[in-house]
C-alpha cells in the first residue's frame, strides 16, 4: 500500500523521480538516469556540472557505508545481494561496515583521524557531529544533493530536516527520515489506570503523581512507583514546568544552558540563574520527599537494572518516556502489558533531535557523487532499504502482506535495529505488532511538530573547551542530587552552583549568547 503511494507520488513529481519510481516498482528494466538538474530542480546550484550519465556509462565504484549497528552474521550475504542490484542500476557496489554501538564513536573518529577512505558515514548530534564538521570530516552536500539527491529532497517528510544539519549555513549530512522529534510523556499501565481510576489527562507534572504513588505503594507493595537512575536531572522538569529548553553544551548530559523558546530575544540562562535555581530546588526537594517516602527505588544512585526488565516483571506502572506515535505499542511488544501515554510536552524540533540520525559523506570519499547516488537510493528505493534493514525475503523474513513481514528468528540478519539508522524509515516493512497506520501517524507527527526557533544553530565550543571540561567534573560530582537520594539537596545545589560560577559558567554563557546572536542576525532573512 505504502509502497504504491510512494511510487505514484514520485512519478508525479517529474523527471528527477524516475529513479525512484523504477526502483519502487518491480525493478523495471529501463534503468534510468539520475536527474539532470532541470525543471523540477530549477533552484539547483547553477555552477554545478549537469553530468548524469547512464548507469552503463558510470565507472564502477565501491561505496563503503559505515554505520551504527552490531555486525550480523549474514552481512556479507546481504551485501552481495545489494551489489547485484546496484551494479545493474548505477554500476556501483557497496561495502557494508557496521560497527557495534559501543565502539562506533571511537572507531570512526580513529578512521577520520587517520584519513581512512570512507564514503557514507553514519553520524548524529550525539556522536559529536558538530565537532567533526568543524574538524573537516565531512563534505559539504548542498550541490551534490541538488544534482544527485533529488529523490531525497522529494521524499523527506519534513522540510525542517535539511535545516538542521548545517554549519555556517552549509549542509553536511542527510537525516534519516523517521520521526523528526519526540514529545515527552507520562506512560501508564492500562490495567493499573483502570483499577485505581487514575485520571491520566490531569497528570501534567511529577507533583501530580503523589497521591497515586501513595495509593499504589499501599495497595501494590511489589511495585516500584518511581523508578529512576542517577541522571543529573529529571527529564520532565523543564518541559512540564517552564518554557526553558536546553541549548549549547550539556556537561555530563545535564542541560546547563537554556533559552525560553517562546521568547523573542533568545536570552541564554544558566543553571545559576535564579528562576532556574528555583525550579531545580523545588524539583530536588520533591524527589527527596519521594525518596524518603519510599516511592523511588532505594538504589537510585547506582542502579544498573534495565527498566524494560522491571516492566516485564510487572513492577512498573508509571514511566516517564520520550514519545512518538506508536511508542505505547513498542512497549507492549517488549513486555506484554498495555500502556497508555499522556503527552505533556508539545513536540519541538531542535537541532539535536532533528540531527539524531544521519548519513554524511566523508571527506575521504573518492567519488562523492556516487556516494550521494547511493544515499538517494537509500531514501527512495524500498527494495534496497528493506534488504539492508530486514535482509533477504524468505531467508531472513517472510512477507505476510504487501508491506508487512514476519522476521525469521536466528536467521543471521535483521536482529540489529537498523531501521532508524539508514535512509528512509517510511519505506521499511512493518513488523508484527506495528499498526498499519504507523507511518501515516509519524508523518502527521512530523508535520505538526513545532520548529524550535534556533533550529540549525550549533554551538562551537572551541573557545571555551577548558571551561567546559571543568564544568563537566563539577556537574558529575553532583549528579545524584536530582534523584532525592541525598539530603539537603538545596544546599548542595547552591554549593554546586558556586563552583560552576567560579569555574566560569558565565563565560560559556556569553560565548553561547554571542554565537546565538550572530546566528539570528544571519538567519533573519
Residues 85-104 that bind another protein (CB under 8 A): 97, 100-103
From the CB of 170, what's the least distance to another protein, in Å? Answer: 15
State how far Cα 486 lies from the chain centre: 33
472 grid coordinates: 563537566
DSSP state of 487: S
Strands 174-175 and 358-361: antiparallel
State how far Cα 54 lies from the chain centre: 35
- Residues 281/271, Cβ–Cβ less than 8 Å: no
- Residues 430/436, Cβ–Cβ less than 8 Å: yes
Q: For residues 8 and 308, which CB has a smaller minimum distance to another protein in the complex?
A: 308
Strands 244-246 and 257-260: antiparallel
Q: How many residues of this chain bind another protein (CB under 8 A)?
A: 75
Q: For residues 306 and 514, which CB has a smaller minimum distance to another protein in the complex?
A: 306
From the CB of 28, what's the least distance to another protein, in Å? Answer: 34
Which residues, in sequence order, are bridge partners of residue 188?
A: 318, 340
Q: For residues 131 and 277, which CB has a smaller minimum distance to another protein in the complex?
A: 131
From the CB of 27, what's the least distance to another protein, in Å? Answer: 30
DSSP state of 60: P
Residue 485, SS3? Answer: coil
Angle between helices 465-477 and 489-503 (to 10 degrees): 170
From the CB of 330, what's the least distance to another protein, in Å? Answer: 6
Subset of residues 506 to 525 that bind another protein, contact rule: CB under 8 A: none
From the CB of 508, what's the least distance to another protein, in Å? Answer: 12
Q: For residues 115 and 211, which CB has a smaller minimum distance to another protein in the complex?
A: 115
From the CB of 26, what's the least distance to another protein, in Å? Answer: 30
Stretch that binds another protein, among 2-10, 130-138, 263-271, 365-373 (CB under 8 A): 130-138
* Residue 168 binds another protein (CB under 8 A): no
Strands 120-123 and 358-361: antiparallel
* Residue 277 binds another protein (CB under 8 A): no
Q: For residues 47 and 114, which CB has a smaller minimum distance to another protein in the complex?
A: 114
Taking CB under 8 A as the criterion, the residue among 10, 468, 489, 493 binding another protein is 468
State how far Cα 404 lies from the chain centre: 24
* Residue 432 binds another protein (CB under 8 A): no
Nearest by Cα to 454 from 361, 521, 399: 521
* Residue 118 binds another protein (CB under 8 A): no
Q: For residues 50 and 298, which CB has a smaller minimum distance to another protein in the complex?
A: 298
Contact characters 357-396, another protein, x per CB under 8 A: ------x---------------------------------
* Residue 109 binds another protein (CB under 8 A): yes
CA dist list (Å): 131 to 120, 126, 136, 510: 18, 11, 9, 20
Strands 397-401 and 92-99: unpaired
Amino acid at each position: 500500500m505504502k509502497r504504491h503511494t510512494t511510487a505514484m507520488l514520485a512519478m508525479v513529481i517529474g523527471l528527477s523521480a524516475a529513479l525512484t519510481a523504477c526502483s519502487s516498482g518491480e525493478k523495471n528494466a529501463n534503468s534510468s538516469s539520475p536527474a539532470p538538474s532541470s525543471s523540477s530542480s530549477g533552484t539547483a546550484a547553477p555552477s554545478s556540472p549537469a553530468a548524469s550519465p547512464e548507469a552503463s556509462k558510470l565507472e564502477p565504484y565501491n561505496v563503503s557505508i559505515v554505520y551504527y549497528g552490531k555486525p550480523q552474521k549474514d552481512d556479507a550475504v546481504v551485501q552481495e545481494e545489494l551489489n547485484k542490484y546496484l551494479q545493474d542500476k548505477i554500476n556501483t557496489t557497496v561495502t557494508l561496515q557496521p560497527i557495534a554501538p559501543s565502539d562506533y564513536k571511537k572507531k570512526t573518529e580513529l578512521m577520520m583521524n587517520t584519513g581512512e577512505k570512507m564514503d557514507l558515514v553514519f553520524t548524529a548530534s550525539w556522536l559529536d557531529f558538530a565537532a567533526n564538521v568543524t574538524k573537516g570530516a565531512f563534505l559539504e552536500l548542498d550541490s551534490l544533493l541538488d544534482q544527485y539527491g533529488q529523490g531525497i529532497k522529494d521524499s523527506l517528510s519534513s522540510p525542517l530536516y535539511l535545516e538542521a544539519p548545517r554549519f555556517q549555513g552549509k549542509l553536511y549530512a542527510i537525516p534519516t527520515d523517521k520521526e523528526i522529534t519526540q514529545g515527552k510523556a507520562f506512560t501508564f499501565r492500562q490495567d493499573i489506570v483502570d483499577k485505581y481510576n487514575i485520571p491520566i489527562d490531569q497528570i501534567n507534572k511529577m507533583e501530580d503523581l503523589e497521591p497515586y504513588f501513595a495509593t499504589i505503594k499501599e495497595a501494590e507493595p511489589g511495585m516500584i512507583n518511581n523508578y529512576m537512575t542517577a541522571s543529573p536531572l529529571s527529564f520532565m522538569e523543564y518541559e512540564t514546568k517552564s518554557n526553558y529548553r536546553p541549548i549549547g553544551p550539556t556537561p555530563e548530559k545535564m542541560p546547563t544552558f537554556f533559552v525560553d523558546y517562546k521568547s523573542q530575544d533568545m536570552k541564554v540562562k544558566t543553571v545559576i540563574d535564579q528562576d532556574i535555581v528555583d525550579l531545580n530546588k523545588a524539583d530536588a526537594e520533591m524527589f527527596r520527599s519521594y525518596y524518603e517516602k519510599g516511592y523511588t527505588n532505594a538504589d537510585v544512585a547506582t542502579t544498573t537494572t534495565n527498566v524494560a526488565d522491571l516492566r516485564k516483571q510487572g513492577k512498573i506502572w508509571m514511566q516517564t518516556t520520550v514519545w512518538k506515535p506508536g511508542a505505547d505499542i513498542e512497549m507492549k511488544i517488549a513486555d506484554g502489558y498495555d500502556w497508555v501515554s499522556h503527552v505533556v510536552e508539545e513536540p519541538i524540533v531542535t537541532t539535536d533531535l532533528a540531527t539524531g540520525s544521519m548519513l554524511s559523506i566523508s571527506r575521504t570519499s573518492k567519488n562523492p557523487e556516487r556516494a550521494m547516488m547511493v544515499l538517494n537510493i537509500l531514501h527512495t528505493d524500498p527494495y534496497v532499504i528493506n534488504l539492508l534493514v530486514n535482509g533477504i525475503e524468505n531467508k531472513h523474513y517472510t512477507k505476510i502482506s504487501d508491506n508487512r513481514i514476519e522476521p525469521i528468528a536466528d536467521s543471521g540478519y535483521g536482529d540489529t535495529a537498523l531501521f532508524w539508522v539508514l535512509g528512509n524509515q517510511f519505506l521499511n516493512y512493518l513488523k508484527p505488532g506495528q499498526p498499519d497506520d504507523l507511518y501515516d501517524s509519524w508523518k502527521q507527527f512530523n508535520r505538526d511538530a513545532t520548529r524550535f526557533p534556533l533550529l540549525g544553530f550549533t554551538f562551537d565550543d572551541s573557545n571555551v573547551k577548558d571551561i567546559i571540561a571543568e564544568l563537566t567534573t563539577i556537574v558529575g560530582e553532583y549528579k545524584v542530587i536530582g534523584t532525592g537520594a541525598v539530603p539537603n539537596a538545596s544546599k548542595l545545589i547552591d554549593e554546586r552552583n558556586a563552583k560552576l560560577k567560579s569555574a566560569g559558567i558565565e563565560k560559556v554563557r556569553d560565548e553561547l549568547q554571542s554565537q546565538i546572536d550572530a546566528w539570528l542576525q544571519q538567519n533573519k532573512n
